[in-house]
Amino acid sequence: MMADTVLGNLFREQEVLLGAQERVASQKQINRPSDDPVGSGLVLQYRRMQAVIEQYGNNVQMGQNRVELIETTLEAVSDQVTLARKLAEEQVGNSSDAELRLTAAEQVDQIRTQVLQLANTRLDDRFLFSGRATDTAPFALDTLADTVSYVGDNSAQADFRLTIGQGVEVSIPANGQEIFAGAEDIFDALKVLKDELNLANPDSAVIATQAQRLERAVQHLQTVRTKEGTLTGRLKLQQQQLEKLGNTFEEMRASVEDADMAQVIVELQMQQTVYQTTIQTAAKLIQPTLIDFLK
């Protein structure tokens, strides 16, 4: 009878000891759903939030890459167009030096080629400025007519949609028509300028008009770049917030799931002491019987 009670106590203490040992080994407070049904549900939720936050972080990173490339590209376009504008301004009123004018025309042509190339920039084989038609080069040069025209997506849905948070979307400009011909058609202005400069008797007024058109185009590019700048700031802010949010969820998960090592080790040691005491007292209890004292 005594033996049964002693054995029962030993088993119980052993089980508690094993539980404490498991928590120390796994460093987790919850090792199976039944350890804490509600807590293990919360852990799932926090892990899921962490996973989704990490994904949004990746999305933001992709967005930043894209915006950065757009920014660099548009900066180069601005530089080129400004250069063309300066060339045009220099040639206003120049009717004597034909050689200089032809060189200028040559330069403007090169600038146009350059801008065309920039407008057809690709990121991972996808065109940046052709809207959703990412597999089509947005601007095409018609060699016969010597004109550049937009063949990309010109619809209202052309801008690139990016999810950067739960229910939070930003749209990154991708409509080449809007960017490169929104205020003034850059390619058209450059073509008119080049053709005029190539004439034997160019009309200074036409050249001056083109210079003004290019000026407006640069201003429009500036507006687009300012928007991109705002977007960059927005993405950076979102990334910081996601990081903070990720840390918060990690802390929340840890507070539910992870074991406080100091605490579990103290618990383990206490339980060890209890177990050893149980064994020792059991040994003392079981040994003596009346037989030892007879005779």
Partner 1 sequence: MSTINGLLNTGRSALLSHQLAISVTGHNIANANTEGYTRQRVVLEASQPIAYTSTGSPGMVGTGVQAESVERMQDQFLLGQITGAASELGRWQAQQGAMEQVEIVFNESSGFGLDSALSDYWNAWQDLSVNPSGNPERQVLVSKAEILASTFNEAANQLQTIQQDTDLLITSTVDEVNRIADQISDLNAKIQTVQRSGQNANDYLDQRDQLLHELASRIDITSTVDDDGVVTVTLGDGHQLVGSTPFGRLATTTHAATGMQDIVWDSAPATVINADIGSGKLHGLLEVRDTLIPGDLGRLDTLAGTLMTEVNTLHSAGVGLNDTVGRVFFTGTGAADMALNPELAADVSRIAAAADATGVPGDNSNAIAMANLAFQLTMDGNTTTFAGYYQATVSSVGLQVQESKAYTDHSQTLADYLESYRQSISGVSLDEEMVHLVEFQHAYDAAAKLISIVDEMMTTIIEML
**Which ranges in the chain belong to alpha helices (H)?**
2-26, 37-91, 98-119, 176-181, 186-198, 204-257, 261-286, 290-293
Examine residue 52 and tell whether it contacts partner 1 (CB under 8 A). yes
Rounded to the nearest 5 percent, the helix, strand and coil shares of the chain are: 70, 10, 20
How far, in Å, CA of 291 to CA of 286, rounded?
A: 13
Instruction: Note the Cα 188 to chain centre separation in Å.
Output: 36
Single out the residue of 84, 99, 86 nearest to residue 198, CA to CA.
99
Examine residue 69 and tell whether it contacts partner 1 (CB under 8 A). no
Q: Which residues pair with 141 in a beta bridge?
A: 148
The CB-side HSE value for 164 (13 A sphere, CA atoms) comes to 24
Q: How far is the CB of 135 from partner 1 (least distance, A)?
A: 5
SS3 104: helix
Examine residue 157 and tell whether it contacts partner 1 (CB under 8 A). yes
Q: Hey, what are 239's tokens?
A: 């990334």
Q: What residues from 11 to 30 belong to the interface with partner 1 (CB under 8 A)?
A: 28
Examine residue 1 and tell whether it contacts partner 1 (CB under 8 A). yes
Examine residue 166 and tell whether it contacts partner 1 (CB under 8 A). yes
Q: Which is nearer to partner 1, 173 or 202 (CB)?
A: 173
Among 18, 25, 41, 229, contact with partner 1 (rule: CB under 8 A): 41
Stretch that binds partner 1, among 71-79, 156-164, 181-189, 270-278 (CB under 8 A): 156-164
Examine residue 168 and tell whether it contacts partner 1 (CB under 8 A). no
Q: How many residues bind partner 1 (CB under 8 A)?
A: 52
- What angle, 0 to 180 degrees and rounded to 10, lies between the N-to-C axes of helices 98-119 and 186-198? 160
Examine residue 40 and tell whether it contacts partner 1 (CB under 8 A). yes
Q: Which is nearer to partner 1, 5 or 103 (CB)?
A: 5
How far, in Å, CA of 160 to CA of 66, rounded?
A: 10
H/E stretch holding 281 reads helix 261-286
Examine residue 287 and tell whether it contacts partner 1 (CB under 8 A). no
Among 149, 163, 232, 241, contact with partner 1 (rule: CB under 8 A): 163
Q: Which is nearer to partner 1, 98 or 283 (CB)?
A: 283
Q: How many CB atoms lie within 10 A of CB 247?
A: 12
Q: Hey, what are 135's tokens?
A: 């597999």
Q: Which is nearer to partner 1, 119 or 197 (CB)?
A: 119
How far, in Å, CA of 227 to CA of 233, rounded?
A: 10
Examine residue 124 and tell whether it contacts partner 1 (CB under 8 A). yes
Q: How far is the CB of 265 from partner 1 (least distance, A)?
A: 21
- Rg for the chain, CA atoms, rounded: 38
Q: How far is the CB of 266 from partner 1 (least distance, A)?
A: 24
Examine residue 134 and tell whether it contacts partner 1 (CB under 8 A). yes
Residues contributing to the site for partner 1 (CB under 8 A): 1, 4-5, 8, 28, 31-38, 40-41, 43-45, 47-48, 51-52, 54-56, 58-59, 62-63, 124, 126, 130-135, 153, 155, 157, 160-163, 166-167, 169, 174, 289-291, 294
